Amino acid sequence: MKATFTNWLKTGNAGIYSVEQNGSVFSALKVRKNDIFDYIFVQKNSGSDEITREITRLNHFVCFGIYDKENGQLYNVQPSSIAEDLFAVFSGAEDLDAIKALELKAQLESSVREKVESMVGNDRSKLAASDFSDSAKVAVSYLKKQARQTAVELFLNSALQLPAVSFEYTAASWNEESILSYIMNPAEYVEEEAQKALSNPYYREKIFLAFLLNDETERIYNEISSNPDDPMHIIKEIRAAVKDVEANMVQVTILKNGIEFSFKTKTADLRNHAGFYDAAHISTKDRKAMRDLFGGTPNYTPQEIIQIKTGRKVLYEV
């Protein structure tokens, strides 16, 4: 009986393993790396499909995987659909699992981001901005605006935890050698990649901007939370008051320029946090009366609202 691919992987010097499929012969060859790991190379000898073209382009034999002999784990090192097809050919109906290169890469990148965050901690001097590009300096202004938006959303939704620091990082080299280094000692490899990221001006800019966004968001959030006179406190109360209202329209009373005025407006408009409410959402009749009374574009602010009602039920009142 022909040995299975799984048994072939486990056997020492087992020669070449071949599989014939649709007129083509796929061959696998083990190359010893050390006492723990073997490289698995593959070849296809005929056909004109994508797998064959890729193998031919790579000089016939291509490194398909790394096999961990101690743990019986196969790592699929080809980051493409080619590897998926090859794996299907060799594993056939066997209960064989392979950790994919792209999965490992995503795991590495996540670990590096976490490591960098830990290494920087509260010491922003490691992210000195003196040599940053002009585009990064422009981004600082944009991020401060983004931080304001994020902080407001967190406050209005009573969030107690800031989003995690997140920055772009992509492993530059991801081939069989780098994958093997990562498999052999993940912690050491992550440490090295994190150090490289912090010493690379491109990534240091990305990391700095990510921490800036987080720091600025936290600062603004705390500023809003600790200042009861900030308009966001009133906006939060109004949003909470109309949160569960099913009626499309509610009655609002405002005190504007010393004049009380009541009107009907769309409930949804009172759920925004722009800092003002648009008269376009007020009923046509009331909008005209409001314009005649106050002139110009009759928008109104949260501070001007003194009562909100639906029917006889008072939802909000100051």
Tell me what pLDDT residue 309 has: 95
DSSP assignment of 154-202 equals HHHTT--SPPPP------S--SHHHHHHHHH-HHHHHHHHHHHHHHSHH
pLDDT at 96 over 50: yes
Q: Which of 226, 249, 279 is the last residue of a domain?
A: 226
Element (H, E) at 137: helix 134-156
Q: Residues 207, 150: one domain? A: yes
Tell me what pLDDT residue 225 has: 94
Residue range 164-183: average pLDDT?
Answer: 83
Cα separation, 38 vs 51, in Å, equals 22
Tell me what pLDDT residue 58 has: 42
Q: Nearest-CA neighbor of 188 among 196, 202, 67?
A: 196
Tell me what pLDDT residue 246 has: 92
Q: Residues 203, 114: one domain? A: yes
3-state percent helix, strand, coil for the chain, nearest multiple of 5? 50, 20, 30
Tell me what pLDDT residue 213 has: 86
pLDDT at 137 over 50: yes
What's the mean pLDDT when you consider all of the chain?
82
Number of domains observed in the structure of the chain? 3
pLDDT band, very low/low/confident/very high, at 83 (cuts 50, 70, 90): low
Q: Give the angle 17-105-42 at the CA atoms, nearest 5°.
A: 15
pLDDT at 303 over 90: yes
Residue range 60-83: average pLDDT?
Answer: 77
Tell me what pLDDT residue 53 has: 46
Q: Nearest-CA neighbor of 304 among 314, 294, 313, 296?
A: 294
pLDDT at 2 over 60: no
How many helices (H) and strands (E) in the chain?
A: 10, 10
Q: Residues 128, 65: one domain? A: no
Cα separation, 275 vs 63, in Å, equals 60
Q: Which of 166, 196, 226 is the last residue of a domain?
A: 226
Q: Nearest-CA neighbor of 153 among 257, 272, 234?
A: 272
Q: Residues 124, 169: one domain? A: yes
Return the number of other C-beta atoms located less than 10 Å from residue 186's C-beta: 14
More confident residue, 205 or 85: 205
Residue range 133-138: average pLDDT?
Answer: 70
pLDDT band, very low/low/confident/very high, at 281 (cuts 50, 70, 90): very high
pLDDT at 195 over 70: yes
Return the number of other C-beta atoms located less than 10 Å from residue 203's C-beta: 21
Tell me what pLDDT residue 22 has: 72
Q: Out of 140-144, 251-255, 275-279, 280-284, which region has the weakest mean confidence (pLDDT)?
A: 140-144
Q: Residues 200, 245: one domain? A: no
Strand ranges, E, within 33-156: 37-44, 62-68, 73-76, 98-100
Residue range 299-312: average pLDDT?
Answer: 94
Q: Residues 182, 293: one domain? A: no
pLDDT at 129 over 80: no
Q: Residues 254, 196: one domain? A: no
pLDDT at 46 over 60: no
Cα separation, 224 vs 150, in Å, equals 12
pLDDT at 184 over 50: yes
Residue range 295-309: average pLDDT?
Answer: 91
Q: Which of 205, 226, 247 is the last residue of a domain?
A: 226
Q: Residues 20, 78: one domain? A: yes
The model's pLDDT over 208-263, given as tens digits with 9 standing for 90+, comes to 888 888 888 999 999 999 999 999 999 999 999 999 999 999 999 999 999 999 99
Q: Residues 217, 237: one domain? A: no
Q: Residues 41, 135: one domain? A: no
Cα separation, 178 vs 175, in Å, equals 5
Burial state string for 248-260 with b = 16 or more CB within 10 A and e = fewer than 16 = ebbbbbbebeeee
The model's pLDDT over 97-109, given as tens digits with 9 standing for 90+, comes to 778 888 888 999 9
Q: Residues 57, 152: one domain? A: no
Cα separation, 251 vs 253, in Å, equals 7
Q: Is 92 left (phi over 0), alpha (psi -120 to 50) or beta?
A: left
> What domain range is 34 assigned to?
5-96
CA distances for 80 relative to 54, 84, 159, angstroms: 11, 7, 40
DSSP assignment of 297-317 equals ---B-GGGEEEEEETTEEEEE
Q: Residues 240, 189: one domain? A: no
